[in-house]
Amino acid sequence: MDNVTHTLFALTLARTPLGRAGRGSTAALIVASNAPDADIVTAIPGGFVTYLRWHRGPTHGPIGVVALGVLTAAIVWACYRLLDRRPDTERGAPVASFAMLAIVATIGALLHVLMDLPTSYGTRLLSPFDWHWYAVDWMPIIDIYLLIAIVAGLFFGRASAAARGRNAAIVLALMAANYGLRAAAHHEALALAPRLFGPTLPQPCAADSPNAAVLDVWPREHLMPDAAGAVPGRRCLVEMAAIPNFFSPFSWRVIARFSNAYEIHDVDLLDARFKAPASESEVFWRRAIRYPNVWTDAVVHAAATTTAQVFLGFSRFPVARSFVDPAGTATVRLSDVRFAGSGFVDQARRPDPFTVIIRTSADGRITEEAFGR
């Protein structure tokens, strides 16, 4: 989730019993709810490559959550104890104890991670013990309906303490309903995949292909199609996913990863055609967008570079394209199909942080490796 949502959610939590732990609890919730994203400071010494390597890493793992909770508590406790010079008669409620602030802040940091998990962007939930990314694919990174509910609850709860508590409870109930609706819609979008892709949908490459997993995990141990169970020369389905839309919980982008390409199909679950039984005249599959994904020798060579390795560690659906000119210079472009909403996969010159360009000379030397070119 974005930091605006995290901050507003922290203010909502401050209107629950968590906010009544004493003075400083609201500040602890706000700081801790944003603290895991402090990993952005890793971009200072090494730029975007270093940032992406550590992005949603240890600060989003179990050790990071506890450490950030304790650190936040220490900062808030010290600020209130050392900087608040008002007389005791003017201070109102006493400052929360350090232990209570640590508990409240740790809960705030933990809820930050748990709000990141249901997004299609995902998070490295177990870092540094496990550097895999995890996602549930229910929510977009920015959910406008979630934001509207939280803002409305904060606005209409200003009147009194009772109104604040009542509206906080209503917001939490609406959030639960929103998550539940998106979970059901996500399941339905995946269930419609056979109708969307029709006769173009091949058989799975392997019996254990993760096409309907509740919790998606990446990067895969092997990116080459044959390592996923594909037989050379035979087109097969590696995996399937449904990515949420920013504007409607009923609009989804279904991504099918084949052994030699990706195919994308947008679906509106409210489309009346899906209420009727499937028929042989359906031609949904003709509207699928296809992105070839051929791992040539040039791609395999480029994938070994530092920049490519960082990107492949982040990318969930890496798609590769390569071109070798008559002089033997190879250009390899790696992108992530999740972010193919504006056609950037087809535009080599479009600036994008989720695209890597790697060039090699005729003798195999790496001459350029960079993000966003």
pLDDT digits (tens, 9 = 90+) for 90-105: 556 778 899 999 999 9
Tell me, yes or no, if the pTM score tops 0.85: yes
- pLDDT for the residue numbered 221: 67
Instruction: Give tens-digit pLDDT for 150-184.
Output: 999 999 988 888 999 999 999 999 999 999 999 99
pLDDT at 186 over 50: yes
- CA angle 318/218/252 to nearest 5° reads 70
Q: Has residue 229 got a pLDDT over 50?
A: no
CB-based burial label for 276 (10 Å; 0-12, 13-18, 19+)? exposed
Percent of the chain scoring above 70 in pLDDT: 88
Alpha carbon distance 349, 233 (integer Å): 32
Length of the chain: 373
